[in-house]
Structure 1
Amino acid sequence: MSVQWPANEPARLEALQRYAVLDTLPEQAFDDLTQLAALICQAPVALISLTDARRQWFKARVGFDVREIPRERAFCDQAVRQESLLVIEDTLEDERFRDTPLVVSGPRARFYAGAPLRTGDGFVLGTLCVLDLVPRRLTGTQVEALEALGRQVVAQLELRRQLQELERAARERAASEEYRHLFQHANDAILIFAPEGEIVLDVNDKACEVYGRPREQFIGMSLRAISVDPTRGDHELRRLLRGGTDHHFETTQLRSDGTPIHFQIRSSVIEFRGRSAVLSINRDVTAQVHAQQALARSEEHLRQSQKMQSLGALAGGVAHDFNNLLTVIVASSDLVLRHLPADSRERPHIDDVLQAGRRAATLTRQLLAFGRRQQLARQLIDLNTSIGDVMKLIRRIIGEDIEIEVRPGSGLPLIFADPAQIEQVVMNLAVNARDAMPDGGRLTLETSPVELDAAALADHPHALPGRYARLEVRDTGVGMNPATLARIFEPFFTTKDPGKGTGLGLAVVDGIIEQHEGFLEVASTPGLGTTFRVFLPEEVGERVSSVPGVRVVRGGSETILVAEDEPMVRSLAHEILTGLGYTVLLARDGVEAVEMFREHQRSCDLVMLDVVMPRLGGREAYAQIRALAPDMPVLLVTGYSPELAEQRSPDSDVTLVLQKPYDLELLEGKVREALDRRPASTR
């Protein structure tokens, strides 16, 4: 027998599912009603039968061991479609059922009566039925009783459903209260928002705290309004909605005051108040991100420092050799010029050689500057004064097509600096600004005092909190893109045409500022201009000025021991000093210098030592000579300033330094100064 579906079958099946009774365990109330039906109808078999799309399932059974049978074998299917009491007095006489398995085989039913289980909204879920093994009839009382019991089964089903709903509501209420507690007291910000427009539906207390917004302001606003990159947010939302499962990503959003917050976000699709929504758990990882950024900056600073140290070591070595050669060029040219008549035709050529040597010496000093290896003559200075001293020269080289404005700030702290080097910084920055404004523009130099704490110095780990003198150099030039900005302090990097720049200007600035315990900041926008900010720390302690005293240039008759490994420099020093009337003893290295000093100690008035020499360097020879004669004046000669950092004795009155390359006046002055500083007992 094929199944004939009732017209309302989909709705009937949906109604059956709402009762959630199929495949449940036996229940006493239904068993009692089934037993009562069997007793009243005096039938060996009684069943509460529920019919779904494919089967007839028995909620309660009397005299029948099977839990379910296929729907096409069921008497109840006809009762469901008939929607009224179905009585079959003899199944063998009814052509609809005579060939069904329940009739021709076990239990070989010959009688069937089934009362429909009709719900309040008119759907027949199944039957309360009785079966017998012989043909028979029900009395009128039995029919009424069977129908009444069927209504009781439906009432019991309804009561059962209501109890289940009450229990579910209680569970949901408890779960909701627990959820609300967890929601409100979570350590992460939690937001629930509608996918359409990303409109916020609910937030927890942590979200209000992290974002700095009250709940009333949050509800109804779009998350796009606080997203740094709304397009990225839209992309991640689409990925979540496509996948339908947990989605993880990182993003940046804004507090109410505009401060960016970095989040790790875990989101999922949920049902919220009867609608689809997104649950977003946002973990604030701003501190971790800042720590990672600080670490990256420190690593980059370390790499840059190591690179500069390597370049500085290279520059120092080059400078040492160059300065030996330049000493010969500069001093020899100066010596020749002294002996040439004023109207000599050779004089201009020799003067050109001298000037070229001095320019080469300047380039060597720049190499030492970007390598942080030059000698500084530091003293307490006012930054405004240094800028004022160099402005006349700046105005001359900048040109009339660029407007210059100087804004000196008041209350500027004093700094401990080398005035010449600070002027070099100002000059280099001004020239750099000029070159960035080929069609003219505006150059502004402004100073101001600033107080910087540890947070403000996060990007400058070697700087100390305190007061700083700040110099801003602003131009309205072409500006720089990020790629160029990242390389501007690299030695020899330049964007200028060949022959128009060495690429050392800003590297020198960076080196000078670092040697002065300061730091630089740069901001630039292509097409709008560039701003350099120089920060130099206030001098709060007392330091001894390293500015040399005034030299009195004159010769003498004293004896000077000169130790120099470079033959040309040694010969030149001999010629200059003997020309001034001095007696000169020459040594080729530190070993010879110590031996000659032991031999001529009584007649020796000054020892002049090159710091870098073979066999025994100047510092070692210096130590041995001072051990023999503690009051002996020593003039240390170097083309490489850091050698002296370890060598100089701040408490010594008899040690001076002569920087290569030197000219006649500088050599004469330093020698005379060293001799005049001898203790009276040694003269």
Structure 2
Amino acid sequence: MPDTKFPIPPNEKERLVALRRYNIIDTLPEQEFDDIARLVAYICDVPAAHVSFIDEKRQWFKATVGFDATEVERDTTFCQYTLMDTDMWVVPDATKEPKLIDNPNIYDGFKVRFYAGIPLTTHDGHNIGTICAIDHIVRDINDEQKNALRILARHVMSQLELRVRNTELDKQKEIAELAIYAKDSFLANMSHEIRTPLNAIIGFTELIGKTELDATQKEYIQNVQTAGESLMLIINDILDLSKIESGQLIIESQPFSLRSALKHTYELMKVKVSNAIEFNLFLDADLPDMVMGDRGRLNQILTNLTGNAIKFTQEGDITISVKKITENDNSYTLRFSVKDTGIGIAEDKLETIFDRFTQAEESTTRRFGGTGLGLNIVKQLVELQHGVINVKSTFGRGSEFYFILSYNKVFTQEKKVQKAEQSIKKLKHLSVLLFEDNILNQKLARSVIDEFGFDLDIANNGEEGIEMFLNKRYDLLLMDLQMPVKDGYQTTEYIRCELKSDIPIIAMTAHSLVGEQQKCFDIGMNGYVPKPFKQVELLGEINRVMNKKPAKQFKGIDLSYLLEMSCEDQNFVNEMITLFVNKVPNEIDLLENAMDNKDYDAVRKIAHNMKSSLPIFKLDDLLKDLTLLEKQAIDTNFTDEADEKMNKLRKGLTDTVVKLSSYKS
């Protein structure tokens, strides 16, 4: 072998012969492998995963989740080291791994922090590829997740061996499918490139439409706007298809008839209900008709919950009910409930009922079927819409699953413009710094911001913008995510962590990756506007972040998230506080007992379940302590620090429970 920049297995020549035996390199995408990549991402709870194969010079991706590359050079991959091992290679923090010190995919490229890879090994001992889980933050995976990856690796090799024994490919079919794949890849890649200039076209025509025009000019502009919107719909459909195949969940915001959607779901499920069950739909008289939101996701949630109720109820009744909790100038907050008189859920199972692969009883799958994923998916869908879901149940007597969602009101274009004008009046004169490297988007943003009456400075990249930020006072930052020199993520992290500034930052991007919006919020951004943006949408987000209410305290406990999420519905706040007060003391006792007995598995499960409750009351310091205990349980090693953290956790949560017990709305 010639000199190379990457490590070479001692059996490299034989390894390459084994790889070619399977005829897998440069083949078409296949659902079977796509499903495995999605399952890896799902099991490890990471935004990116892949199934890949490695030849002389490159790593080729058979299936990916979370990134668009089809291949990379072998010497830039983390997998070059996995290929040298016989088992899994896990890197919690790539910046601290000596082997990766010069790897370009840590700070550039894919920006990898966490990596877990397992080799794909043939029956005769040759490593021909890898299955990998990737994240952009420092983290780890537990033993169960590692075992799941080993099982999936064995499954991939079993399928490849089966193909070698049982198939020849139809060459003509392969050529035809390659042509289709090339077309689809071209459309998917070009759609991303089209969005940036289209953003300028739509934005500038919107601005021109507000100037003095004669009848003919207005007609022409309207035609351009209509054509632009139609083109954007086509592009979005292409991207949505790509996102669905990569496992993304898309939350739409479109006007729909709430009553019609609920009645449709009811009629759809009614045919599945036996005659022994009374099936009801109760709608609040004050329920709005038209709302802005995702009708399909609401239908998916209610269908899943109702389907469970039907499955586990032999007789009695099942009721879907929807009630309006609060209303303000912009939105409605609604409580949805699915209640049944079925088999119910044991009290000790309520805390884990929304976990993946969890069902109320071990015999549930045998008796009723199902994977145990449905409720976890429902929980994700609710939380992606900034809602909360919970359950009440008595074993043997029935259950009630209920969730809270807020939907924006539907306004006509005229009302939207009026609201935008009112928002401008409410906002003070703002000094805005835009981070944007595209000249068309710079010009568009300047025109829009000038119309708002704000001052605007523009930085071409993150480093230039930081220098400007240090030398002038600004009220707001608009942050493009994809920039040269220093991108939007790195710039925001520097402003938050190094400069310790809490200036409002709104992300603006035309590129949508898995979990990108949540990542923006996680690193400290306050708002998010996808490109191409409408003036009303941008102004609405500016108004929201600039007029965000200060944190509301009760005896030193931050209730702002709970109050904001419930639109200050005191009944809901009281209900959540009661659940916390009744639940946490028992969890503390269980956690401490498990630690005393060095029951690592129990500590891991209890700590993981408790972690979802603490952020509701902004108990961030205690959450860090709980996370440390969970990590040490995963590592099966409690240090002296663990006892200190447990004592701090018990005291902090006990104090919180005492304070919340006296809360009065």
- TM tier relative to shorter chain: 0.3 to 0.5
Q: TM-score, normalised by structure 2?
A: 0.34
Q: TM-score, normalised by structure 1?
A: 0.33
**Whose helix fraction is larger, Structure 1's or Structure 2's?**
2
More strand by share: 1
